[in-house]
């Protein structure tokens, strides 16, 4: 598994992965905001995810942090053409408002996770983020786009976002720009591929890719590397997507 981490935790990984979108920016807030929005729509075909995440940035004038902080309600009309699967223009507009609220009132996304890590896990902080994010007016349907681990979700997309922000891999893939959050508290982004490979390897027994399965996987990965457990996401994902392990 360590060999597979070395194989896939490589700059070539960027060529086909949505993480390439935040890699087009250099400032901390541009990186984390573009990463958060990209991770939010990261389900389905990866080429479609990359294309639509790039479109999101274009609609925000390729200046996501400035757009979030400075936009007026009238500016949100330019987001109207956007849609990615069930994430529509209204959702996008709500997320822009929600991010502005988070940066104005809670010291940004990093502040939420810095202040609400519990027992060396970020899962409760994800639930706090959802609660605070939707303190603004919103349609009920939009809340489904932020998962809640405390209600049984594996929160794959948010755990992927957190890996990007926290993990310092020295390989040019993950950013490691959040120094107030420890990599040891990260959880593996659990999706179909990583779940199938993990079961194939006997790392988890639970059939559903939910919060309980994630807890099983976390426990195993932290035995292998307590300081950097989610580095094995590269191995599990690579074995599933590129090598066909665990396929039904």
Of 23, 53, 44, 4, give the one whose Cα is nearest residue 177: 23
Cβ atoms within 10 Å, residue 15: 8
For every residue of 37-104, DSSP letters joined together read: HHHHT--S-HHHHHHHHHHHHHHTTT-HHHHHHH--GGGGGGGTT-EETTEEHHHHHHHHHHHHHHHH
Q: Which long-range contacts (CB under 8 A, 24 or more apart) does 199-204 make?
A: 199/246, 200/245, 200/246
Furthest C-alpha separation in the chain: 53
pLDDT in tens, 43-77: 989 999 999 999 999 999 999 999 999 999 999 99
Q: What angle (nearest 5°) sits at the alpha carbon of residue 200, between those of residues 196 and 205?
A: 80
State what percent of residues in the chain have pLDDT above 70: 99
Terminal alpha carbon distance of the chain = 21
Quick one: pLDDT at residue 164?
Answer: 98
Domain parsing of the chain, residue ranges: 2-241
Q: What does the pLDDT average to over 190-206?
A: 95
Confidence tier at 245 by pLDDT (50, 70, 90): confident
Q: What does the pLDDT average to over 186-215?
A: 96
Quick one: pLDDT at residue 4?
Answer: 94
Quick one: pLDDT at residue 61?
Answer: 97
What mean pLDDT is reported for the chain? 95
Specify the higher pLDDT residue, 230 or 169: 230
Question: Rounded distance, CA 165 to CA 177, Å?
Answer: 6
Quick one: pLDDT at residue 84?
Answer: 97
Confidence tier at 208 by pLDDT (50, 70, 90): very high
pLDDT in tens, 75-98: 999 999 999 999 999 999 999 999
Judging by beta carbons within 10 Å of its beta carbon (0-12, 13-18, 19+), is residue 137 exposed, middle or buried? exposed
Confidence tier at 189 by pLDDT (50, 70, 90): very high
Tokens of 75: 């500016």
Flag whether pLDDT at 248 surpasses 80: no
């Amino acid at each position: 598994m360590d060999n597979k981490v070395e194989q896939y935790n490589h700059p070539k990984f960027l060529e086909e992965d949505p993480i390439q979108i935040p890699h087009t920016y250099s400032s901390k807030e541009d990186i984390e905001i573009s990463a958060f929005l990209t991770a939010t729509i990261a389900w389905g075909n990866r080429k479609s995810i990359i294309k639509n995440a790039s479109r999101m940035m274009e609609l925000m004038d390729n200046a996501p942090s400035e757009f979030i902080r400075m936009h007026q309600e009238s500016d949100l009309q330019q987001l109207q053409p956007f849609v990615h699967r069930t994430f529509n223009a209204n959702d996008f507009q709500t997320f822009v408002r929600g991010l502005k609220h988070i940066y104005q009132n809670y010291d940004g996304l990093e502040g939420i996770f810095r202040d609400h890590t519990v027992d060396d896990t970020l899962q409760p902080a994800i639930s706090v983020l959802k609660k605070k994010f939707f303190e603004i007016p919103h349609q009920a349907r939009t809340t489904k786009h932020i998962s809640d681990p405390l209600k049984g979700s594996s929160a794959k997309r948010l755990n992927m976002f957190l890996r990007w922000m926290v993990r310092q891999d020295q390989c040019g893939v993950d950013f490691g720009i959040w120094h107030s959050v420890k990599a040891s508290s990260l959880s593996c982004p659990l999706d179909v591929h990583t779940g199938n490979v993990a079961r194939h390897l006997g790392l988890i027994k639970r059939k559903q890719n939910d919060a309980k399965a994630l807890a099983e996987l976390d426990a195993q990965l932290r035995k292998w590397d307590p300081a950097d457990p989610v580095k094995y996401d590269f191995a599990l994902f690579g074995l599933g997507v590129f090598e066909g392990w665990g396929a039904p």
